[in-house]
Amino acid sequence: MHGVRGGGGAPRILLVAMANSVHTARWIGQLGDQGWDVHLFPVSARPAHVDLRHITVYPAARRWRPELDPSVRQRGVPWPLPRGWARLEWVLERVPRANRAARLARLISSLRPDLVHSLEMQHGGYLTLESRRLLGGDRFPPWMYSCWGSDLFYFGRLPGHRERIEAVLDTCDYLITDCERDRQLACEFGFRGTFLGIFPGPGGFHVERMRRLRSPAAASTRRVIALKGQHDDQWVGRALVALEAIRRLGAELAEYEVVIYSAEDSVRRAGERIARTTGLRLSVLPESAPDEIVALMGRARIAVAVNISDGTPNTMLEAMIMGALPIQSDTISTQEWVTDGENGLLVDPEDPDDVERALRRALADDTLVDRADRLNERLTAERIDYPVVAPRVVEAYRRVLREGGDKIGVRFARERARDDVHPDGSRAALAASARDDGAAMSSDSQTDSSPGA
């Protein structure tokens, strides 16, 4: 193995990711029985997720967290008070030698990981790029980037992001995506490293365990419509478009209950108004654990989720596992899973007429619903079941650990050649732009469900 640390011992992996995300926890869970030395640098001040196991986490302020598993170790400034730790991180972020990029650079220098893996672009990728600039490329380990949700498809079209995205993809050595669309986009944005494969954002799904939560009756006999309740005109959710389609159906839904999950306030209020004016049975799930949403999918005939951007949506995959017919936005990536009219229905997320037509068809066609259930049961078992995905994920890491040192040599040669072509230092200026703009980016620019929420 051409590790960066040398000297033998267990391979050391450092992930740069949303420590509070269940998707991060589930991805890392696939590595738990390999005997590797796994570390996590959080990209925000939010607390580490309780599902994390066998890992060392590096928050700026280390607090007592009795809810964390004993196998999770925290390293940071001891903080004995129940409050104030988030304020501390806010202050540190404004001190150049103490902000996240500087702390990450120092951690990489002292930890000497064999691999750095950024989960997601706008927080993990930009931050890793800046830490690499601070360290200098010749001291940086092999770098893997996992593309989540809207990283490229949405942000790549926004002013101020395209150049930062290109800087990350031009520099990182390895790439994972959750759909073929984003592999192609990454190449268009300048990625020239090694592509490791397509994997769901959280890794493999425990399909058999999940299906125990589903209703034993045929999917066509169910009388629940599940609706993802995210809507923000400044972001990607379009739940209000779907709610308008539901409102138009009115009395045709007399036998049905509409259940909204992950509801934002605007969607909650709109749903309550529709229930009052139409008599529709409509309820809003309070903030729910992931298993509760899976159970909802297991008693739903239809699962509706409309948004203008996503990768491979995790809730779509959960609906397919649990037998609910997905009515899903056509974001190109969803075509990799859904054949319209066969195992789901694809719609224009901005068009309530299109969503209404899809709902009417899904309500009327029992054969479609039951056939889709059978097709999706086989499809998800073949493509995303944990025993299928997890070994492939582990092998991807093993490949990087085997060839990482050689990859660094290739990267240096590429960078030297690029510098010869750009003697004015334009690429260095681009990295500096990524640093200055990336540090100012709000942590709310993406939700925790960004890997295909």
Q: Which residue has the tokens 């996240």?
A: 100
Is residue 315 very low, low, confident or very high in pLDDT (cuts 50, 70, 90)? very high
Residue 40: C-alpha distances to residues 37, 105, 143, 336, 347 (Å): 10, 13, 14, 31, 38
CATH class in words for 12-204+387-440: alpha beta
- What pLDDT digit, counting tens, does each position of 36-70 carry? 999 999 999 899 999 999 999 999 888 888 999 99
The amino acid that residue 397 corresponds to is Y
> Does the pLDDT of residue 133 top 80, yes or no?
yes
The model's pTM:
0.87
| pLDDT, position 288 | 76
Same fold for the pair 12-204+387-440 and 207-384 = yes
Whether residue 333 is predicted with pLDDT greater than 80 in this model: the reply is yes
Q: Delimit the domains of the chain by residue range.
A: 12-204+387-440, 207-384
Q: How confident is the model at residue 286 (pLDDT cuts 50, 70, 90)?
A: confident
What pLDDT shows up at residue 118? 98
The β-bridge partners of 238 are: 231
Higher pLDDT, 414 or 429: 414
Residue 281 reports pLDDT greater than 90: yes
What would the pLDDT profile of 65-87 be if each residue is shown by its tens digit? 899 999 999 998 888 777 776 77
Residue 410's pLDDT is: 58
Most confident listed range (68-82, 199-213, 281-295): 199-213
Ranking 174-178, 290-294, 349-353 by mean pLDDT, the lowest is 290-294
Q: Can you tell me the distance from the alpha carbon of 183 to that of 248, in angstroms, rounded to the nearest whole number?
A: 39
- pLDDT at 406 exceeding the cut of 90: no
- Which CATH architecture describes the domain 207-384? 3-Layer(aba) Sandwich (3.40)
**Token digits of residue 161:** 């992001």
